């Protein structure tokens, strides 16, 4: 592939930021050119400018854009990746909600930037196991959203390589997974039915196909955005929290963000906020 001229690089960088909000720092220029080059070879383009114009033109360009976005986003994740957050849900949030005078009969959870679904299924397993305790009686549902159609398709299928299950305890694996072959496992049907996958760009949250949530889980997604955009995304997420609902973030993903309608929850190294009043 030819080298990318500075003006072409700037065009691509601005297009990606405009459409997705993701900011590519200049040190990731080689990542962008390599990803574009691989996809261009696959579809038969030899000019960055021609491919750029194709992306902008008509239905075929729109379809191609969804594939390209999948190439430009990182999908490395695994089950039970953030154990501190899992412990907070198990040991603090669920007992707290169930001990209320009128505990919720339904718990609605949103996994934002869910990638291929490991995070959403982890939350479903935690909620399902806790529901079997003596004092927990509720229905639960997980909404898992991402911008990548390909990632969502993987999540719906629920088949994962065994390396993604390294942090899954044997008893949990036997309970919630079925072996497909020597290296792959599939999430059991009854658990998969609890997770609804939906395509959503976080810059277009008004298009969300669901209501308010008891918990919004948003980890390792904000890193793609600059500080101003992170605040904008978080301010919007708060609008979709039930009073008393909790927003769980990745440690270090936001600094100096303290909306007056939220209180910070201190639990190990997990960064979380509880909504106090209506926004």
Determine the 3-state secondary structure of 136 from DSSP: coil
Which CATH number fits the domain that encloses residue 26? 1.10.155.10
Top mean pLDDT of 19-23, 43-47, 73-77 is at 43-47
Residues 48 and 29 in one domain: yes
15 and 129 in one domain? no
pLDDT, tens digit, for every residue of 140-150? 999 999 988 88
pLDDT-wise least confident of 22-26, 82-86, 242-246: 22-26
CA distance 187 to 197: 14
Share of the chain above pLDDT 70, in %: 96
50: DSSP letter: H
- Calculate mean pLDDT across residues 245-250: 93
Same domain (yes/no): 27, 155:
no
Residue 157 in domain = yes
The verdict on residue 95 lying in a domain is yes
Tens digits of residue pLDDT in 100-157: 888 999 999 999 999 999 999 999 999 999 998 867 789 999 999 998 888 999 999 9
Q: Of 16, 48, 72, which residue is a domain's last?
A: 72
Residue 279 has pLDDT above 50, yes or no: no
Report the candidate in 113, 136, 112, 111 with the shortest Cα–Cα distance to residue 122.
111
Average of per-residue pLDDT across 158-179: 95
Tell me whether residue 52 is in a domain.
yes
How far apart, in whole angstroms, are the C-alpha atoms of residue 276 and residue 273? 9
Residues 28 and 92 in one domain: no
Q: Do 128 and 263 have their domain in common? A: yes
Residue that terminates a domain, selected from 31, 49, 72: 72
Residue range 9-19: mean pLDDT, rounded: 88
Cβ–Cβ under 8 Å, residues 262 and 275: yes
- The CATH number of the domain where 105 resides is what? 3.40.50.150
Mean pLDDT of 192-208: 90
Q: ∠ CA 254-256-258 to the nearest 5 degrees?
A: 100
Q: Are residues 44 and 112 in the same domain?
A: no
Q: Do residue 42 and residue 93 come from a single domain?
A: no
Query: Could you tell me the residue range of the domain that residue 236 belongs to?
Result: 83-275
Strand partners for 271: 249, 266
Q: Cα–Cα distance between 270 and 266 in angstroms, integer?
A: 7
The token pair that represents 146 in the structure block? 């991402």
Residues 102 and 192 in one domain: yes
Domain total in the chain: 2
Length, in residues, of the chain: 279
Taking the C-alpha atoms of residue 77 and residue 219, their distance in angstroms, rounded to an integer, is 11
């Amino acid at each position: 592939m030819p080298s990318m001229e500075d003006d072409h690089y700037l065009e691509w960088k601005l297009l990606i930021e405009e459409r997705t909000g993701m900011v590519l720092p200049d040190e990731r220029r080689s990542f962008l050119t390599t990803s574009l080059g691989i996809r261009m070879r696959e579809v038969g383009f030899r000019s960055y400018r021609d491919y750029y114009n194709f992306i902008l033109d008509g239905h075929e360009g729109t379809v191609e854009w969804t594939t390209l976005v999948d190439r430009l986003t990182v999908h490395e994740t695994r089950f039970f990746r953030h154990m501190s957050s899992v412990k907070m849900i198990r040991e603090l949030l669920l007992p707290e909600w169930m001990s209320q005078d009128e505990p919720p009969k339904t718990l609605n959870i949103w996994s934002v930037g869910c990638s291929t679904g490991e995070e959403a299924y982890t939350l479903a397993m935690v909620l399902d196991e806790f529901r079997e305790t003596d004092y927990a009686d509720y229905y639960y549902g997980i909404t898992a959203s991402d911008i990548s159609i390909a990632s969502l398709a993987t999540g719906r299928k629920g088949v994962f390589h065994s390396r993604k299950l390294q942090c899954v305890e044997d008893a949990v694996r036997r309970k919630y997974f079925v072996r497909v072959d020597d290296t792959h496992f599939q999430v059991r049907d009854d658990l998969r039915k609890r997770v609804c996958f939906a395509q959503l760009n976080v810059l277009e949250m008004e298009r969300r196909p669901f209501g308010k949530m008891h918990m919004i889980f948003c980890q390792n997604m904000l890193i793609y955005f600059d500080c101003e955009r992170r605040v904008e995304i978080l301010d919007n997420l708060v609008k979709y929290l039930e009073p008393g609902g909790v927003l769980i973030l990745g440690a270090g993903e936001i600094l100096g963000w303290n909306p007056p309608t939220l209180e910070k929850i201190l639990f190990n190294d997990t960064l979380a906020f509880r909504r106090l009043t209506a926004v």
